[in-house]
Amino acid sequence: MSVRYGLLALLDEAPSHGYQLKTAFERRTGGNWALNIGQVYTTIQRLERDGLVESLDGDPAADDERRAYRITQAGRSQLAAWFDNPVVPEAPARDELTIKVLLAVAAGDIDVSVLLQRQRRASIEQLQAYTRRKAKADPKRDMAFLILLDALIFRTEAEIRWLDACDARIRSVSKEAAR
Amino acid sequence: MTVLVQLDGAARRFGSGHTEVTALHPTSLTVEASELLAVMGPSGSGKTTLLSLVGGLDRPTEGRVVVAGQDVGSLKARDLAILRRRTVGYVFQDLNLLAGLTARENVAIPLELDGRPIGEARAAADAALDSVGLANLADRFPDDLSGGEQQRVAIARALVGGRQILLADEPTGALDSITGESVMRLLRAHCDGGGTAILVTHDAAHAAWADRVVFLRDGRMVDEARAASSPDLTTTAA
């Protein structure tokens, strides 16, 4: 989804070749979101099929690398609608960590607090890695990268807050039980 | 590496017999120059007790706490006060800036208390304010500064006169995330310049500025996280 609209937004600025789109997309997203060129071509083909972009080249037999594309009127209105509307959160995924914690709580013979701490340590180490990159980045020149890092950092932080809350909830119940 | 802070089986207990409460069980820990250490854990896990011992605000009931080469437990009250004034600086969530004094005067207080001439203390205060990016606001009163600026004044006061060890208890608690980040950058810069800081926080995003994060639980150190030397950062396109 994000790649589809990303390419549309770039084509809205100027017609481009697939490879130009790949490098421009990576630059806009902070230079750390590597796109596979094959993914760029399949996405463009779908956009073309849906009438949102069209080939500049008259020769439909020309290979992917030599074809340039431009956005169509339909593509422009779909892009505008995308920017104008909030992203609707998808139904929450059944993620592995949530399931692992729930099953550990139910199992009864697993030390949940040890499990939570192991996860907390792994998440903090991930945060430390992001933060080291952040510390080296230049607030003006690398703004796109910093915005991307903030997204990763705050999602990881949310996970840690959830781990803390699980821990506190389990402890408060076991304290009650001990009374 | 120079060890600036060392806890050697240090514990703090209150009361005795069956009313005894252990705020910190015997704990061993060293913090080196250039190291930023974060301490995390739920309320009541012993974080603030640990910080008070390192800062010489309290003494261990067993074990040793050595700060900049001095054994806190055996120092006379007078020498402990000197250690607090010359070597250790504190930053709290409550800044405790004096409203009737300018930023410069607030920052100069620790040096004036230490008996340094006023001119010298104020020059050092200006240097400390400059190091936190506030040289041009030295004549302002706290009420005329934003929350983030006030916290930077408090950091300048903690570091004034070249104190090496900075102790921070939830220093970013009342700040928004970008302002909090600028405070963390100052702590990081202090350590990268050869100092040491110990940060107590609930905020994982701020703790992640540290080289090492130790986790306390029920008065015991239960785990620690270390920054990888070559951070891997990969994102994949969704």
- Between A90 and A167, name the one with better pLDDT: A167
How distant is the alpha carbon of residue A135 from its chain centre? 21
CATH number at residue A63: 1.10.10.10
Give the residue from A131, A142, A147, A149 with the most B CB atoms within 10 Å of its CB, the best one to mutate.
Answer: A131
Q: Residues B96, B152: contact at Cβ < 8 Å?
A: no
Question: DSSP state, B38?
Answer: E
Of the three residues A84, A111, A135, the one that is the final residue of a domain is A84
Q: Residue A150's closest CA among A131, A173, A170, A128?
A: A131
Least confident of A31-40, A61-70, B198-207: A61-70
Of the three residues A84, A104, A127, the one that is the final residue of a domain is A84
Contact assignment for A160 to B210 by CB distance below 8 Å:
no
CATH topology of domain B1-87+164-232: Rossmann fold (3.40.50)
Q: Residues B67, B83: contact at Cβ < 8 Å?
A: yes
The pLDDT mean for chain A works out to 88
Strands, sheet with B212-217, edge to edge from the N-terminal-most edge strand: B88-92, B165-169, B196-200, B36-40, B212-217, B220-226
Q: What whole-number distance in Å separates Cα of residue B161 and Cα of residue B108?
A: 9
Between A35, A120, A157, which is nearest B237 by CB? A35
Q: Are residues A68 and A107 in the same domain?
A: no
Q: What whole-number distance in Å separates Cα of residue B211 and Cα of residue B192?
A: 11
Q: What whole-number distance in Å separates Cα of residue B103 and Cα of residue B30?
A: 34
Inter-chain Cβ pairs, chain A and chain B, closer than 8 A: 82
Question: For residue B71, which phi and psi values (nearest 5 degrees)?
Answer: -80, 105
Residues of B in contact with A120 (CB under 8 A): 215, 223
Beta-carbon contacts of residue B163 (< 8 Å; ≥ 6 apart): B86, B87, B88, B89, B195
Q: Are residues A135 and A171 in the same domain?
A: yes
Contact assignment for B231 to A128 by CB distance below 8 Å:
yes
Q: So what's the pLDDT on residue A33?
A: 74
Bridge partner residues of B169 (DSSP): B92, B200
Q: Residue B107's closest CA among B86, B124, B125, B119?
A: B125
Q: What whole-number distance in Å separates Cα of residue B164 and Cα of residue B162?
A: 6
Q: So what's the pLDDT on residue B43?
A: 87
Q: Residues B49, B29: contact at Cβ < 8 Å?
A: no
Q: Residues A125, B231: contact at Cβ < 8 Å?
A: no
Q: So what's the pLDDT on residue B127?
A: 93
Q: Is residue A91 part of a domain?
A: no
Q: Is residue A89 part of a domain?
A: no
Of the three residues A58, A84, A110, the one that is the final residue of a domain is A84
Tally of domains in chain A: 2
Q: Report the chain B residue with the minimal C-alpha distance to residue A40.
A: B237
Q: So what's the pLDDT on residue B17?
A: 86
- A106: number of CA atoms within 13 Å, CB side? 6
State in Å, rounded, how far the first CA of chain A is from the last one.
Answer: 53
Q: E strands, B41-130, where?
A: 62-67, 70-71, 88-92
Beta-carbon contacts of residue B106 (< 8 Å; ≥ 6 apart): B97, B98, B142, B153, B157
Give the residue from B185, B191, B201, B235 with the most A CB atoms within 10 Å of its CB, the best one to mutate.
Answer: B235
- Between A176 and A31, name the one with better pLDDT: A176
- Summarize the confidence of residues A148-158 as an average pLDDT: 93
pLDDT along chain B (238 residues), means of 10: 92 91 96 96 92 93 95 92 90 85 95 92 94 93 93 92 92 83 91 94 93 96 84 48
pLDDT-derived band at A161 (thresholds 50, 70, 90) equals very high
Residues of A in contact with B222 (CB under 8 A): 117
Q: What whole-number distance in Å separates Cα of residue A76 and Cα of residue A179?
A: 65
Contact assignment for A148 to B235 by CB distance below 8 Å:
yes
- Summarize the confidence of residues A89-102 as an average pLDDT: 83
Q: Are residues A55 and A121 in the same domain?
A: no
A→B contacts (Cβ < 8 Å), by residue, are 1-3, 32-36, 39, 117, 120-121, 123-125, 127-133, 135, 148, 152-154, 156-157, 160-161, 164, 167-168
**3 state SS of B30:** strand
Between A3, A152, A160, which is nearest B237 by CB? A3
Strands, sheet with B21-32, edge to edge from the N-terminal-most edge strand: B21-32, B3-14, B62-67, B70-71
Bridge partner residues of B70 (DSSP): B67
Give the residue from A124, A156, A169 with the most B CB atoms within 10 Å of its CB, the best one to mutate.
Answer: A124
Q: What whole-number distance in Å separates Cα of residue A4 and Cα of residue A46?
A: 9
Q: So what's the pLDDT on residue B238?
A: 39
Q: Residues B169, B200: contact at Cβ < 8 Å?
A: yes
Q: Residues B169, B183: contact at Cβ < 8 Å?
A: no
Q: Residues B4, B67: contact at Cβ < 8 Å?
A: yes
Q: What whole-number distance in Å separates Cα of residue A159 and Cα of residue B8?
A: 34
Q: Is residue A40 part of a domain?
A: yes
Q: Is residue A90 part of a domain?
A: no
Reported as a single tens digit per residue, the pLDDT across A107-139 is 989 999 999 999 999 999 999 999 999 998 888
Contact assignment for B238 to A1 by CB distance below 8 Å:
yes
Q: So what's the pLDDT on residue B236?
A: 45
Q: Is residue A71 part of a domain?
A: yes
**Rounded to 5°, angle at Cα B89 from B43 and B72:** 80
Task: Determine how many CB atoms are found less than 10 A away from the CB of residue A162.
Answer: 16
Alpha carbon dihedral A167, A172, A177, A179, in 10-degree steps, equals 140
Interface confidence, given as ipTM, is: 0.85
Question: Which residue segment(s) compose the domain that A15 sits in?
Answer: 2-84
Q: Where are the domains of chain B?
A: 1-87+164-232, 96-163
